[in-house]
């Protein structure tokens, strides 16, 4: 994922993931939390995992939600490869194995699809008064009905899923006022091994 500005240590960057044994899962995929109250302040909908870039440790961490309402989560590992974020970096990049996205070893062969959303925000959704919250996610944040647009990736065949393949779901022009939160481009590669 690339932002228009740069990755900031004081901002929050997530990649939310819903795994499914179905080719076309029903129900919402991961969507951003846009108002209070909520369970965790950053993601709603159906989501099993998320990756967060943590500025204080300068590493990406994979977390798994441990209950059905997404209010509790625990670290479950780190990506097998990742791009180091340096001052001025615009890009977050990491690689996961499907085995990292299942709770029982060996069951990743049953996964047929994942739904993914990229979420950026200057703070979690909470009751704080006096500070505005700025977010971006896949879709056009200027149009309320287009904000919640996770993408579905099929796992049976290798391929590159990117913004152009999805008809520029994430607008090429700025749809978020803060360039350090404005998702400019993204891609996900599925590799079969």
Q: Which residue is listed with tokens 């925000």?
A: 121
pLDDT at 105: 92
Per-residue pLDDT at 109 = 94
Quote the pTM value. Answer: 0.92
Contact by Cβ (8 Å): 51, 17: yes
3-state secondary structure of 173: coil
CA 75 to chain centre: 16
pLDDT confidence of residue 31 = 84
DSSP helix/strand/coil, 60: strand
How do the pLDDT tens digits run along the chain, 193 residues long? 999 999 999 999 999 999 999 999 988 888 888 766 666 788 988 999 999 998 888 899 999 999 888 889 999 999 999 999 999 999 999 999 999 999 999 999 999 999 999 999 998 876 555 568 889 999 988 887 777 789 999 999 999 999 999 999 998 889 999 999 999 999 999 998 7
pLDDT at 6: 97
3-class secondary-structure state, position 20 = strand
**pLDDT at residue 117, as a whole number:** 95
pLDDT of residue 37: 61
Which DSSP symbol is given to 119?
Answer: E
């Amino acid at each position: 994922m690339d932002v228009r500005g740069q990755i900031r240590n004081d901002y929050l960057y997530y990649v939310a993931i819903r795994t499914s044994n179905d080719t076309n899962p029903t129900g919402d995929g991961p969507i951003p939390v846009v108002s209070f109250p909520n369970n965790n302040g950053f993601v709603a909908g159906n989501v099993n995992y998320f990756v967060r870039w943590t500025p204080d440790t300068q590493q990406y961490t994979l977390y798994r939600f441990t209950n059905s309402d997404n209010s509790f989560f625990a670290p479950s590992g780190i990506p097998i490869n990742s791009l180091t974020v340096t001052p001025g970096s615009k890009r977050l990049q990491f690689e996961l194995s499907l085995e990292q996205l299942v709770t029982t070893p060996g069951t990743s062969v049953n996964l047929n699809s994942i739904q993914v959303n990229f979420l950026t925000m200057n703070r979690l959704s909470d009751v704080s008064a006096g500070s505005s919250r700025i977010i971006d996610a896949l879709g056009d944040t200027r149009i309320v009905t287009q904000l919640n647009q996770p993408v579905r990736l099929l796992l049976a065949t290798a391929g590159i899923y990117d913004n152009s393949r999805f008809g520029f779901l994430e607008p090429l022009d700025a749809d978020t006022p803060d360039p350090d939160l404005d998702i400019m481009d993204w891609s996900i590669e599925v590799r079969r091994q």
